[in-house]
């Protein structure tokens, strides 16, 4: 589908510098652009590419002033914020490519399931008893939805997603391929002989609106009650969220991070990749946890934490400076010991 510079400028409220009739049908990074593609420049670090790009249209900030001659066939669209405007176009492009309403064959849909208007349900999907699916939900092939699950409007479940019984997913959510929602929490109790006995996990998972969950992440059901992902939470690929965890609104965690059972994560908390958070603790709103950090105890006041165990970032930097000097300090100690020994021998 083709769009002219004039049409694009109208969508993002931009000013055209160049040919308003030039058209594009593809999106590309500025350094990889070709004729007929649309790019953007927001970060000055990439400015050099705008002088050699083959893209037909480039979105730039109003403040951009070229330091060299631009390509002859390049049309600029000037806006207040090039990055956010390009993101807006990406969203529009994504919506244009959204699956059209259709129920493919074969699928299994229980007679007791309730399906809203305009669904897309891909082949080999399995929808169990008493499932409620709202309007405009997209369910890709090989998705399993267990008994009594509820799915909100405009939510997308990518191929191979598994949602166990009794879980609830809000509206405008995206759950990527291979994610598992509602598997049993890791609950075992040793008997008198030290043999582990499984503790039944009878709770569920509640995912509120506007949540995105990355590929192959796992959200465990609660032992009792619910595991919560509050509104606007963003989870990267390969994350583990244990039973009875509660993640506050608009928090985000990067790949391979893990949260142990019953931890309470505040709002707007940012958790770096491979970070680990122990169970039964609280993390204050607006806390930042650096990648590969370990958090063994509650954080009561927002700060940036790094290391294992995690400590405030400024303290970690000072400690690390000392750690790097250890070889030098050890050498000095050995020299001093040698000198003391020589003095004593004298």
Positions annotated as catalytic residues are 243
9, 1, 59: which is closest to 29 by C-alpha? 59
Report the alpha-carbon distance of residue 212 to residue 266 in Å, rounded. 17
CB 271 within 8 A of CB 247: no
Output b/e per residue, 268-307; b: 16+ Cβ within 10 A: ebbbbbebbbbeebebbbbbbbbebbebeeebeeebbbbb
Strand partners, 162: 144, 180
Neighbours of 249 (CB within 10 A): 17
- And the tokens for 5? 């510079």
Report the alpha-carbon distance of residue 281 to residue 262 in Å, rounded. 7
Task: Using CA atoms of 259, 263, 268, 269 in order, give the dihedral in degrees to the nearest 10.
Answer: -50
Residues contacting 222, CB < 8 A, separation 6+: 185, 201, 203, 204, 205, 243, 244
CA 250 to chain centre: 11
CB 20 within 8 A of CB 13: no
Report the alpha-carbon distance of residue 13 to residue 79 in Å, rounded. 7
Q: What is the CA radius of gyration of the chain?
A: 27
CA 136 to chain centre: 23
CA distances (Å), origin 344, targets 277, 325, 330, 331, 339 = 52, 29, 21, 20, 9
The two most distant CA atoms of the chain are separated, in Å, by 98
């Amino acid at each position: 589908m083709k769009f002219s510079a004039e049409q694009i400028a109208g969508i993002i409220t931009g000013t055209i510098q160049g040919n308003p009739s030039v058209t594009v049908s593809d999106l590309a990074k500025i350094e990889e652009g070709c004729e007929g593609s649309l790019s953007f420049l927001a970060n000055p670090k990439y400015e050099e590419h705008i002088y050699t790009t083959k893209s037909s249209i480039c979105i730039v900030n109003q403040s951009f002033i070229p330091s060299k001659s631009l390509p002859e066939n390049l049309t600029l669209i000037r806006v207040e914020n090039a990055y956010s405007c390009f993101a807006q176009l990406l969203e529009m492009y994504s919506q244009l490519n959204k699956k059209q309403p259709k129920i493919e064959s074969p699928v299994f849909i229980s007679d007791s399931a309730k399906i809203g208007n305009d669904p897309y349900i891909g082949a080999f999907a399995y929808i169990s008893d008493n499932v409620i699916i709202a309007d405009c939900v997209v369910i890709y092939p090989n998705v399993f939805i267990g008994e009594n699950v509820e799915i909100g409007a405009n939510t997308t479940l990518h191929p191979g997603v598994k949602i166990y019984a009794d879980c609830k997913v809000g509206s405008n959510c995206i759950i990527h391929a291979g994610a598992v929602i509602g598997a049993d929490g890791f609950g075992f109790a040793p008997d008198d002989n030290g043999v582990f006995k499984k503790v039944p996990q009878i709770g569920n998972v509640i995912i509120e609106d506007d949540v995105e969950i990355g590929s192959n992440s796992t959200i465990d059901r609660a032992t009792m009650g619910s595991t919560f992902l509050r509104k606007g939470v963003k989870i990267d690929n390969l994350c583990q969220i244990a039973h009875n965890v509660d993640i506050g609104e608009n928090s985000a965690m990067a790949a391979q991070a893990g949260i142990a059972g019953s931890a309470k994560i505040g709002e707007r908390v940012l958790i770096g990749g491979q970070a680990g958070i122990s169970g039964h603790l609280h993390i204050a709103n607006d806390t930042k946890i650096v990648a590969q950090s370990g958090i063994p105890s509650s954080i009561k006041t927002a700060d940036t934490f790094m290391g294992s165990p995690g400590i405030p970032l400024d303290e970690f930097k000072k400690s690390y400076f000392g750690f790097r000097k250890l070889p030098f300090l050890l050498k000095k100690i050995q020299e001093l010991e040698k000198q003391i020994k020589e003095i004593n021998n004298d």
